């Protein structure tokens, strides 16, 4: 990786950061975690209204490669902070927009569903909000969550609501 690629990525990330500061979608925030490292961001995602995740605030990290936007970032929720069929137990997010560009070797996704340089941090965050609203059980990252969601929806809802209460510190209130 040459120095030029890293500089291009830095310029692009700075531009995206400024745009998010100016006009961030409601319920979403993202910013560099450390002032001197534009390649690691913290994200706050408010659970979408009228979903099981409503009233929750979810923290995730975005790690950008030095060749961004040619390659996608990796997104990881704080491990154990969210139960979702498309979030691995270690917190990694599994959605098409974060998969390497080009044809899917498993022939599940079309190339236009996968990462491309026209994507942005804002589009990633909006895709995650959509994922919270509509899990993709056909491409589950957390099989236990998939089974719970599919076979025991009431129990799944209870786990999500308890997770929200716990994250807000309400689990210590009777």
User: For residues 71 and 120, what is the distance between their CA atoms, to the nearest angstrom?
Assistant: 11
**Residue 146 is among the residues annotated as catalytic for this protein:** no
Higher pLDDT, 138 or 42: 42
What is the residue extent of each domain of the chain? 1-168
pLDDT of residue 174: 47
Q: With H, G, I as helix, E, B as strand and everything else as coil, classify residue 44.
A: strand
pLDDT of residue 157: 96
pLDDT of residue 140: 86
Percent of the chain with pLDDT over 90: 70
Determine the average pLDDT of the residues in 86-114. 78
Domain 1-168 grouped into CATH 3.10.110.10 = yes
Question: In terms of Cα–Cα distance, which of 142, 172, 143, 148 is closest to 160?
Answer: 148
φ/ψ of 60, rounded to 5, equals: -140, 160
C-beta separation of 122 from 16 below 8 A:
yes
Q: What is the pLDDT of residues 120-173, one digit of tens each?
A: 999 999 999 999 999 999 888 999 999 999 999 999 999 999 989 887 776 655
In this prediction the pTM is 0.87
Catalytic residue among 28, 62, 82, 94: 94
Element (H, E) at 21: helix 3-22
Determine the average pLDDT of the residues in 67-82. 92
The answer on pLDDT for 43 being more than 80 is yes
Q: Would you place residue 7 in the very low, low, confident or very high pLDDT band (cuts 50, 70, 90)?
A: confident
């Amino acid at each position: 990786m040459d120095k030029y690629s890293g500089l291009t990525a830095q310029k692009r990330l700075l531009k995206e950061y400024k745009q998010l500061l100016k006009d961030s979608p409601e319920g979403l925030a993202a910013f560099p975690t450390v002032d001197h490292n534009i390649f690691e961001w913290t994200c706050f995602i408010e659970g979408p209204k009228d979903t099981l995740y409503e009233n929750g605030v979810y923290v995730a990290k975005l790690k950008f490669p030095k060749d961004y936007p040619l390659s996608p970032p990796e997104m990881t929720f704080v491990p154990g902070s969210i139960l979702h069929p498309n979030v691995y137990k270690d917190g990694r997010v599994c959605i098409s927009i974060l998969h390497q560009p080009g044809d899917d070797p498993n022939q599940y996704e079309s190339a236009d569903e996968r990462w491309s340089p026209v994507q942005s941090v804002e589009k990633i965050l909006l895709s995650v909000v959509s994922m919270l609203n509509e899990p993709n059980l056909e491409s589950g990252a957390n099989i236990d969550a998939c089974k719970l969601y599919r076979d025991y929806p009431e129990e799944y809802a209870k786990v999500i609501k308890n997770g929200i209460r716990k994250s807000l510190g309400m689990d210590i209130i009777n």
